[in-house]
Chain A
Amino acid sequence: MSGPRNAEDRLRRLLVMLPWLMDVGEVELATVARRFEMTEAQVQRDLELVAMCGLPPFVDEMIDVFVDDGIVYVGVPRLFTRPLRLTAPEGFALLTSGRAAMELPGADPGGPLGRGLAKLAAALGEPTEGDEASPDDTAGVAVDLARPAMTDEVLEAAADAAELRVHYYSSTRDERTERAIVPRHVFAEAGNWYVVADDERSRARRTFRIDRIEAIERTGRIVPTDDPATAPEAFFLDADVPRAVVRLAPSASWVVEQYPVDEVRPLHDGWIEVTLPVASERWLSRLLIRLGPHVELVSPERAADEAAALARTILAHYTTEP
């Protein structure tokens, strides 16, 4: 647990802590520390400090708070009874989290989250005059986390700790496998849905893309775990993954919409030069084949030979008349 350290962070934290303390009146120091993610010593120090703040006519009693034997007491609330308004990033983060959560399986627009979001959006929407005809119920932010049909079934299996037999297609290896997995955590990132699962085949916890699961069936086995899973930290923008540099024609600019890229540099005539992580050689060959004359490979040079070889493999299927 790490607390705020510089003066701005300490004050920021105090300005949300004080109204809350005035509301509850009396509370254990440990509770305050846990709630606001500080150590007890930090809370005590900052509260004792603001208790000494004072201006005429409230010298030394402007903020009536003291800590005694592990309990925080608040007397007459005078100043800082209301929290500071939401900053632009805070308002944005709340709205976005709420809207994203509404996109998750099981969300109910008429439920408490939907109602809370509507109130938040109304407060952040700042409707202007003449706009009554189109009230902005999104407050400017919409989130679309469309999910593959199998997501809900996978999520139910995670909730039940139920083992599944799946057919899984790996695009980096371009192969299909059949394996038993126990889903542990489902998450959405970068436009795709994934499941973290205990994988029988590799005897390890692995991340699978749900839209690449082709068939699914419960085995009937229930495998509880003591080791809950969460979404991995930034797992696919791996710095260790090799990079390719390609030049893309305007007609191929969808590549930067569809795949993560490190850098985009504009060239002439609408062409762009792009540096992008390469999941596998086969993945890059496939991209080059799809783009054909709309791409110029800069590096790595050998990728051109690999793409040509793959093109010949595909062409071999066309040598016989249908």
Chain B
Amino acid sequence: MADRVERLTNLLALLLETPEPLTLVQITAELAGQYPEGEHARRASFERDKAALREIGVPIETEIVTGGPYAGSTRYRIDRRRYELADLDLDEDEVRALQVAVATVRSDAGKDGLWKVGGALVEMPDDDPPPLSAIVPDRPELPVIRGAVAGRASITFRYRDEARRIDPWGLLLRGGFWYVIGHDHGRGERRTFRVDRIEGRSIEVGEAGSFERPTGFDPRTAFPADPKQIGHDPADAAEAVVLIDAVRAKAIERELGGERVARRHPDGSIEVLVPSGNIDAFRSWILGLLDHAVVLGPPEVRAVVVDWLSAIAGPPPRPDGDPT
């Protein structure tokens, strides 16, 4: 039998060139000798080829014949307009810039796409690796969700053990994670989901054009603000005085800004004013600094931290040699 690539190429050419959709009987007649004898084996081989072509992205269209001698059988063809890459009209420097982008950002599927849009693209010097790179997490769900965002199709998936249906407005990579942001039908409001937390990796995509995206939506600004962010609300007046030791002083001054430094000590430690209105956020922040930071006041904020630590510390350990 012929090499399978030859048969696949012929099948592809036949379905692209045919003016009329073809039935399996017609296809195997055109590709005489390339499919096995016997209807069952022939059907199985054809189904395998059809799946292979679809796998590499070939859009094969099917229709059921309604009348005539082939009534009830399926006919196949490929619409050339849907098969061919739309001309992106990229200039040479734009192709080169995309090449550099793909070389700089580590992800798996970039190269095939680049070959397609690049056409006769320019040779890249392959001596010097760029001094800069980004590693972007890849997930199989992402292209599906992006397609739904672009096509305005609702998606359904399981998340935190619950079925969700959302109108996806956009995907955002931030802090190393991919998020999908959109309107949650069950909650009746905008929600954000971590893509890697979608359960079972199965996303159902509904009909295209089923929603409209809010005007001017930008995933970068729509992202919910982190409530743990300290000093997030400028209207919040409550402040604590915190002593930061010399080890962490420089980093904390940079984090908070020099105007928050109230005192500088000769040993390199500093006293800083830190918003404490959101006491949970404040406590989490200062405990993250371990013994490099101490609350000096006010007393009630100091007491919150001491009580919290005492609960974890438990009773003081018995001195050595204490009989049990």
Contacts and interface: CB of A to CB of B under 8 A. Distances in A.
B173 interface: yes
A292 B219 CA distance: 33
Contact of B13 (A79, A111, A125, A316): A79
Interface stretch (A3-11, A67-75, A200-208): A3-11
Interface residues of A, number: 127
A39 to B, nearest CB: 16
B104 to A, nearest CB: 5
Given A16-B116, A49-B3, A116-B98, A89 B134 contact: no
- Contact size class for B? 35 or more
Contacts of A288: 312
Contacts of A130: 212
Given A100-B105, A289-B287, A292-B312, A159 B131 contact: yes
Nearest to A143: B173
B88 interface: yes
Contacts of B137: 190
Interface stretch (B35-43, B69-77, B106-114): B106-114
Contacts of A113: 94, 97-98, 100-101
B161 A266 contact: yes
Contact of A128 (B135, B176, B208): B208
B16 interface: yes
A123 B30 contact: no
A143 B137 CA distance: 11
Interface string A274-310: 0000000000001011101100000000000001101
A153 interface: no
Contacts of B217: 134
A162 interface: no
A185 B133 contact: yes
Given A85-B85, A88-B147, A116-B95, A311 B313 contact: yes
A93 B109 CA distance: 6
A12 B112 CA distance: 9
Contact of B17 (A79, A144, A228, A313): A79
Given A90-B113, A191-B175, A313-B291, A134 B135 contact: no
Given A113-B97, A130-B212, A286 B290 contact: yes
Contacts of A131: 152, 212-213
Nearest to B120: A23
A135 to B, nearest CB: 10
Contact of B215 (A134, A169, A316): A134
A23 B135 contact: no
Interface of A: 7-8, 10-12, 14-16, 19-20, 23-24, 35-37, 46, 49-50, 52-56, 62-63, 79-80, 82-98, 100-105, 111-113, 115-117, 119-120, 123-126, 128-131, 133-134, 136, 138-146, 149, 155, 158-159, 167, 169, 174-176, 184-192, 212, 214-215, 228, 230-231, 251, 254, 256-258, 264, 266, 286, 288-290, 292-293, 307-308, 310-318, 322
